[in-house]
Structure 1
Amino acid sequence: MRVTVNGAPTRSTVPVRLLLSDFLRDVLGLTGTHVGCGQGPCGSCTVLADGDTVRSCLMLAVQADGMEIETIEGVAAADGTPHRIQEAFREHHALQCGFCTPGIVMATVGLLRRTPCPSAAERAELMEGHLCRCTGYRNIDEALAALSGAEPRGEH
């Protein structure tokens, strides 16, 4: 299969049942994509595939053939300067253990590309697909609101 990951073209022969998450982590060594539940609802494994958010634990690697995949490792600038989304998460203390953070950041990248100023409802919809076991939802929404120049949703 041929796939571009974080701007780097890659060619690899993979087992037909290898999950995209396992390909990214085990074959390419991109361990920033976390696998929490292995069934999709937690959102920790979220990556962008041709610009769309996907759960990499639910997608076979061979399904990504010919696609452009973006992972959390490709979000910061090449010199290591954090992306504005990563900065907003830091500034608003929107992470605790950090396990869910890569998936939420990737979903946020996708959302802000489609909708530069998401509404409170759109931000809430984004979070419906992600589980944060450290209860960081309020701070995450504050970071998302800051990115879009909006007010946080208030009580969660």
Structure 2
Amino acid sequence: MNILLEVNGRPAEVDVAPRTTLCDCLRDELELTGTHAGCEHGVCGACTVIVDGAAVRSCLMLAVQAEGASVTTVEGLAHGGELSPLQQAFRRHHALQCGFCTPGMLTTLHALFTEDPWADEARIRDVLSGNLCRCTGYVPIVEAALEARAFYQQAAGGR
């Protein structure tokens, strides 16, 4: 099936089998390999992307369901070769080790802060509970999120 969608702010047209997951489409057809296929059951969060503003598990969504949608992957968070403030905070706080879970964490947090820039630490931890990391504790991840949250608050006009 031929589908049209927007990926990271650019139009994309792909021809996929009806059973192709959005994750496989992004990785195999569009060569956006930052989206990781982990458990392929929607449990680990490694494949999380943003579809029309919502964080979704791309291993559970068919590519054809994204017809006409706006999809943002981890590659779409950076602009002009510069890491986003969230990505920079992850770097500063050493909030990653192997990096397998990192793209899903970043897209999950970006979706959260875009919707709710004032999310408190409890809400951040709750949202991140769906993203599994086996290499590092969640403390530096939460610290990075709390630091980056200020950027989203400023973008929203502050309080």
Q: What is the TM-score with the length of structure 2 in the denominator?
A: 0.90
Aligned partner of 1:131: which letter? L
Match of 1:12, SS state, is: strand
Deviations 1:9-58 (A, max 9, x none): 11222110000000000000000000110001100000000010000000
- Paired residues, what number? 148
Matched residues, percent identical? Answer: 50
Match of 2:50, SS state, is: strand
Matches of 2:34 and 2:140, distance apart in 1: 21
Name the structure 1 match of 2:59: 57
Aligned partner of 2:9: which letter? G
Matches of 2:79 and 2:19, distance apart in 1: 33
- Unpaired segments of 5 or more residues in structure 1? 150-156
Match of 1:10, SS state, is: strand
Matches of 1:127 and 1:49, distance apart in 2: 18
Deviations 1:42-78 (A, max 9, x none): 0000000001000000000000001000001111112
1:15 aligned onto 2:17: yes
- Checking the alignment, whether the CA contact within 8 Å between 2:95 and 2:136 is kept in structure 1 is no
Equivalent residue for 1:33, pick from 31, 35, 42: 35
- Unpaired segments of 5 or more residues in structure 2? 151-159
Name the structure 1 match of 2:86: 85
Name the structure 2 match of 1:130: 131
Matches of 1:72 and 1:42, distance apart in 2: 16
Matches of 1:134 and 1:73, distance apart in 2: 22
Q: What is the TM-score with the length of structure 1 in the denominator?
A: 0.92
1:103 aligned onto 2:104: yes
Aligned partner of 1:108: which letter? L
Aligned partner of 2:82: which letter? T
Matches of 2:87 and 2:149, distance apart in 1: 14
Moved more, 53-62 or 2-11: 2-11
RMSD of aligned Cα (Å) = 0.9
- Structure 1 runs (4+) deviating above 2 angstroms are none
Equivalent residue for 2:48, pick from 27, 46, 49: 46
